[in-house]
């Protein structure tokens, strides 16, 4: 997969968030929730007009260019929030975390800001650069789509259900576009044509004739997916207060963060159980039976989703913003880190396998008939 060049104009425009945030932090009118809402909406509107005037041809070619450009600006804002909340800088976003979205001060909020300000930011620049150069970016967009949707599925319900539900301010309704944009963007991305495959009909036929024992990589992935599925189900039962002794021991000795009243870890485990677990079952099926052409795309979506989820979960489990009683005990760090890192790494290896050798998942291609011996 070719990595497109980063969009220079978009990067410069996004870095304008630094001086703007510093200036707004000293405006007294922004010490009120409604002031934060109106100012945020005004800035986003002006930013879109600036992008439209500077890159009109790119937006006409692909409207997602405007989405990536605007979101790259908000990614820089999120990175400023995370750095300020961790004490690495000051006087930039205090007004927003105080009067806009105070739940961003939680450990989970800090780590989704880190992810958005680094991984999402680079993806936005790469995808905007691909549009400017009229190159394909479908795979990057699928990874971003999964990561973005997972962040929203956990963060928004967690804000409503957790202990910060009384801290919801009017700026919470600015997240409504964040619910609509992924739906529209996802439809556009999935409707984009896939890159032409280099696999010939003979290669596809030969690969799909191989049994599972002749595909050791796929066999190893199936074994991994089975263990990951049990781990997903187990943690889902833990947050549902399953009375089994194993669940009790796990939640108190290995991941006490699952009991944190902020609700983000509980929502995360339930999302995994109801969405990731079925995908693991379907992925096992697709690795056994050939011709499941949907798997390569969806492995990218779920790799992005699980990558974002595990980064936020692992980071928040050990962050100082999490109360000491809910942090991972020191004697369980090694097992916690290994299990969760493997849980995050597996879907990425599965996605790489599907992109590296897609012949097994392709539908039989039209071509000359295979050679058969003449029967008498």
pLDDT by residue for the chain (376 residues), tens only, comes to: 556 666 778 888 899 999 999 888 887 656 777 888 888 889 989 999 999 998 899 999 999 999 999 999 999 999 999 999 999 988 888 888 888 888 899 999 999 999 999 999 999 999 999 999 999 999 999 999 999 999 999 999 999 998 888 888 888 777 777 788 888 999 999 998 887 777 788 888 888 899 999 999 999 999 999 999 999 999 999 999 999 999 999 999 999 999 999 999 999 999 999 999 999 999 999 999 999 999 999 999 999 999 999 999 999 999 999 999 999 999 999 999 999 999 999 999 999 999 998 999 988 755 554 444 444 4
Task: Please check whether residue 229 lies inside any domain of the structure.
Answer: yes
Q: Which domain holds residue 33?
A: 8-191
Count structural domains, the chain: 2
Does 173 share its domain with 222? Answer: no
Does 251 share its domain with 354? Answer: yes
Inter-residue contact 329 to 256 (CB < 8 Å): yes
Task: Please check whether residue 89 lies inside any domain of the structure.
Answer: yes
Does 35 share its domain with 65? Answer: yes
Does 178 share its domain with 136? Answer: yes
Does 77 share its domain with 166? Answer: yes
Does 143 share its domain with 19? Answer: yes
Does 206 share its domain with 159? Answer: no
- Pick from 156, 191, 226: which residue ends a domain? 191
Task: Please check whether residue 196 lies inside any domain of the structure.
Answer: no
- Pick from 133, 164, 191: which residue ends a domain? 191
d(CA 117, CA 114): 5
pLDDT of residue 374: 44
- Pick from 135, 166, 191: which residue ends a domain? 191
Does 271 share its domain with 353? Answer: yes
Does 259 share its domain with 147? Answer: no
Task: Please check whether residue 367 lies inside any domain of the structure.
Answer: no
Does 140 share its domain with 254? Answer: no
Does 209 share its domain with 182? Answer: no
Task: Please check whether residue 338 lies inside any domain of the structure.
Answer: yes
d(CA 50, CA 40): 15
Does 19 share its domain with 163? Answer: yes
pLDDT of residue 1: 53
């Amino acid at each position: 997969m070719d990595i497109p060049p980063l969009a220079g104009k978009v990067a410069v425009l996004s870095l304008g968030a630094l001086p703007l945030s510093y200036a707004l932090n000293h405006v007294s009118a922004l010490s009120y929730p409604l002031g934060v809402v109106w100012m945020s909406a005004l800035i986003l509107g002006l930013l879109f007009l600036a992008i439209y005037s500077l890159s009109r041809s790119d937006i006409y070619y692909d409207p997602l260019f405007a989405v990536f450009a605007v979101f790259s600006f908000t990614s820089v804002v999120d990175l400023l929030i995370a750095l300020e909340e961790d004490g690495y800088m000051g006087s930039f976003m205090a007004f927003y975390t105080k009067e806009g979205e105070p739940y961003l001060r939680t450990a989970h909020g800090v780590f989704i800001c880190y992810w958005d300000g680094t991984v999402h930011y680079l993806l936005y620049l790469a995808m905007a650069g691909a549009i400017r150069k009229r190159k394909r970016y479908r795979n990057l967009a699928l990874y971003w789509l999964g990561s973005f949707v997972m962040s929203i599925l956990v963060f928004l319900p967690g804000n409503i259900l957790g202990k910060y539900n009384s801290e919801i301010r009017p700026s919470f309704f600015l997240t409504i576009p964040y619910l609509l944009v992924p739906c529209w963007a996802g439809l556009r991305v999935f409707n984009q044509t896939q890159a032409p495959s280099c696999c010939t009909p003979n290669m596809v036929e030969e690969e799909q004739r191989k049994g599972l024992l002749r595909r050791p990589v796929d066999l190893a992935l199936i074994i991994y997916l089975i263990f990951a599925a049990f781990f997903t189900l187990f943690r889902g039962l833990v947050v549902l207060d399953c009375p089994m002794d194993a669940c009790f021991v796990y939640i108190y000795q290995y991941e006490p963060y699952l009991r944190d009243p902020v609700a983000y870890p509980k929502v995360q485990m339930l999302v995994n159980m109801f969405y990731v677990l079925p995908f693991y079952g379907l992925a096992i099926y697709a690795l056994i039976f050939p011709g499941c052409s949907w798997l390569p795309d969806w492995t990218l979506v779920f790799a992005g989703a699980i990558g974002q989820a595990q980064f936020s979960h692992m980071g928040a489990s050990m962050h100082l913003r999490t109360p000491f009683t809910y942090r991972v005990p020191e004697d369980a760090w090694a097992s916690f880190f290994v299990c969760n890192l493997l849980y995050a790494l597996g879907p990425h290896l599965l996605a790489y396998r599907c992109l590296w050798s897609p012949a097994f998942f392709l539908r039989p291609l039209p071509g000359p008939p295979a050679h058969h011996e003449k029967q008498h």
